[in-house]
Structure 1
């Protein structure tokens, strides 16, 4: 499947938007029987949210607040020629917060997440500066926007890591959440570059740690082997205590091709790794689907959505990872054309992809 870095970058962005829109209707059904009763045995397209559900009032093909914020960050990256935190924060203050009231069922997209409600309160009620915001939310909300940074800095891992970490702590300050968010961005950047999602991917990421390009402590001397007699501790590359967040993707890739490990149908990955919102449920499932369906965008995102629970986040992450592998040119046109304002989103993606540095 021949693709270019620009095609893969655009595929990663549109894949995220498609995952967001696919999850809008059937979002947060933890009772799978109820999900099937409302949407049938297999969801294969955009759907309207049911009355009284999380995105009630929106229509099939529209974006949630996650997509809204992702669009804001892409515009900031494009307008500023890179990551400018003050510009992005100004956009939150001026373009998002005036539409919120601190309640869950409010604002663009019909639902406002925990971490965004918290920083809205900190900024508008408490009057805190941006250097003092953030919460302990253990979700993927930062990944859902910083994936744009991962794409923009795909060829510059050290800049990618610094920008994603800085943006993440605006809303989520738990160090484990930050490390897993940075790791996702690093994985996405590798896929945009053209590396396969396979069992060797984590070794490539660990090589970046050893070069000082990713801020993770190496823990062991080489490929998780014990240190040699008399050897000193490996040098600490940066702020994160261990490299485990960088190792998860290759374990999931190995599981996806192991004939002794079968998750059938694949949507049941949500049951294996858990349906809830927490990042440690979401990432293994998204990595597994992205590795298993590395060349089949439709299968990947539809299995992500049909698994229920926090299927919108699962589909955003999966869609971005697989979109980066197949490229925009191999995403089914019906998914692209079915999103509201898809021409505008395509242009934003084109602009962002055009700014990726060609060399590190």
Structure 2
């Protein structure tokens, strides 16, 4: 897989997982099945509109394109600029969370990213860091540092930060071709020491992976409104359907929890693993702003290749 194809795969993956879950966010399962049938929603609408999850992932990608080869402070200066720009733009109409909105206001007032985040465990930090896992695939220390910084700018909570680093690391694992059955162990080795709550939630995956009832398996892990649950639910879906992108994101979003966020994280992992050919081509064709998303992926790939070479 070329660097360009790797970049497109995780970006298409996250955006389409987000777009699949976006129409049913906040809905109860009985409402979802009433509207879409017993299997729930199975494909994104046309056009496939994405939420703030993809929008803020774009913010992170632009920051890496601009400053990814420099230190964390430089990356965060760029992130702050792009994040404030997004928050104040007309495009910011896709229901961002309160914590994210408040952090944008705080950053706009000139407060440092080290102090702008609230002590909250929401998933708004974890949904945007897939580009970090891609860009720093071969520089894991940088991955951890930058993902933690990008996370704490809005969610300065140890559990949320650990889960945010974990979400980025999942993309690295998928790109590395790591065996999906080893995802939990590899994540625990990489970030397990950061936070006990996140580690304990990851361990729940081992309890439910063999369950035939996937709906209850996901529910056992959590609802996804908090970062550690959203990431663990996504890892479960990626392990349960490692080579079937559609099945993985369908399982991720058909929940009473935070459908688009779990779909976004799951989509980034499985998309990175299966590549662009493994994502339904008709889904890609209906993705909102496809030309711009593709251009973003290609620019990110070019920057990664320039900084780290093609590996």
Quote the Cα distance in structure 2 between the aligned partners of 1:200 and 1:289: 11
TM-score (norm 2): 0.86
Give me the whole-angstrom Cα distance separating, in 2, the residues matched to 1:247 and 1:329: 35
Q: In the alignment, which residue of structure 2 is the partner of 1:36? A: 33
Structure 1 match to 2:56 = 69
- The answer for the alignment partner of 2:205 in structure 1 is 252
In the TM superposition, 1:224-235 aligns within 5 A as none
8 Å Cα contact 1:64-1:108 kept in structure 2: no
- Aligned equivalent of 1:179: 162
What is aligned with 1:108?
92
SS in structure 2 opposite 1:199? helix
Larger Rg: 1
CA deviations over 1:129-151 (Å, ceiling 9, x no partner) = 43320012212211211111111
> Which residue is equivalent to 1:160?
143
Contact kept in structure 2, 1:300 and 1:318, CA below 8 Å:
yes
TM, length-normalised to structure 1: 0.75
Q: CA deviation at 1:312?
A: 0.6
> For residue 311 of structure 1, what is the aligned residue in structure 2?
259
Aligned pairs for 1:54-93 (under 5 A) are 60-82=47-69, 84-93=75-84
Confirm or deny: 8 A CA contact 1:177 1:279 kept in the other structure. Answer: yes
RMSD over equivalenced CA pairs, Å:
2.8
* Aligned twin of 1:223: none
* Structure 2 stretches lacking a partner, 5+ long: none
Q: Does 1:122 align with 2:106?
A: yes
Change over 3 Å in CA distance of 1:99–1:306 after alignment to 2: same
Once the two structures are TM-superposed, the CA of residue 204 in structure 1 deviates from its matched residue by 8.0
Identify, as 1 or 2, the structure richer in helix.
2
Give distance in 2, aligned partners of 1:118 and 1:179.
21
Stretches of 4+ aligned residues off by more than 4 angstroms:
3-6, 244-251
What SS is found at the alignment partner of 2:181?
Answer: coil
- 2:13 aligned with 1:15: yes
CA displacement at 1:296 relative to structure 2: 0.3
| 1:262 equivalenced with 2:208 (yes/no) | no
8 Å Cα contact 2:99-2:155 kept in structure 1: yes
The answer for the alignment partner of 2:229 in structure 1 is 281
Aligned 8 A contact 2:113 2:152 in 1: no
Task: Measure how far apart 1:187 and its partner are.
Answer: 2.6
Q: For 2:237 and 2:198, how far apart are their aligned partners in 1?
A: 17
Unpaired segments ≥5 residues, structure 1: 48-58, 101-106, 218-239
For the pair 1:333 / 2:281, whether they are aligned, the reply is yes
